[in-house]
Amino acid sequence: MGGIRPGSGLVLGAHHLKENVHDSKVIEPALAQFERLHGYLPKEFVADRGYRGKSEVGGVKVSIPRPPTKTSSAYQKRKNKKKFRRRAGIEPIIGHLKSDFRLSRNFLAGVDGDRHNLMMAVCAFNFRKWIVNYQRALKIWLDTIGQVWYNLSDNLIRLAPIPTF
């Protein structure tokens, strides 16, 4: 269970559970962790179609994807489609954590080992994202410096007086 930041894909929260529980039992600990990390509760929590439970938990609305009604405007349809697609984008990140960051099997002992394994995988995932963004920014900066240097040196060669002997 966790939260993903829209746009960047960084994992903002991850919580270890001792057993495999239903989604309706997971929302309250997820919201408690979110409030502890960010200092406020979100207005809305987006769940997948398999969620069965309360429509509101602790003052937070739980949204589930449903077919649009006949009275829904085109704007409402677009807005809901975008919101629920973002929820579907979490599944590939979980898949990457399991396959690329060894989260499918825990090699550390006990419940604390499970928790440490989860946190290390999430930190490595976020660190890799940060490194990729840093490399892109560095490449853009170096390309800009190289272009400026090339233009500057080209202009200096043209402006330099031709020596006469």
Give the pLDDT confidence of 71-95 residue by residue, as tens digits: 888 998 888 888 777 776 777 777 7
The answer to whether residue 144 sits within a structural domain is: no
Phi and psi angles of residue 110, each rounded to the nearest 5 degrees, phi first = 80, 180
In the chain, the amino acid numbered 133 is N
The answer to whether residue 161 sits within a structural domain is: no
The pLDDT, as a whole number, for residue 156 is 60
The answer to whether residue 47 sits within a structural domain is: yes
Question: Would the pTM count as exceeding 0.85?
Answer: no
Task: Tell me the H-state helices in 55-109.
Answer: 74-88, 90-100
Per the structure, the count of domains in the chain is 1
> Residue 147, exposed/middle/buried by CB under 10 A (0-12, 13-18, 19+)?
exposed
The answer to whether residue 81 sits within a structural domain is: yes
Whole-number percent of the chain with pLDDT over 70: 79
Task: Tell me the H-state helices in 5-88.
Answer: 27-38, 74-88
The answer to whether residue 164 sits within a structural domain is: no
What's the order of all strands across the beta sheet hosting 60-63?
A: 44-46, 60-63, 56-57
Domain range for 17 is: 2-133
The answer to whether residue 57 sits within a structural domain is: yes
The answer to whether residue 60 sits within a structural domain is: yes
Cβ proximity of 106 and 77 under 8 Å: no
The answer to whether residue 160 sits within a structural domain is: no
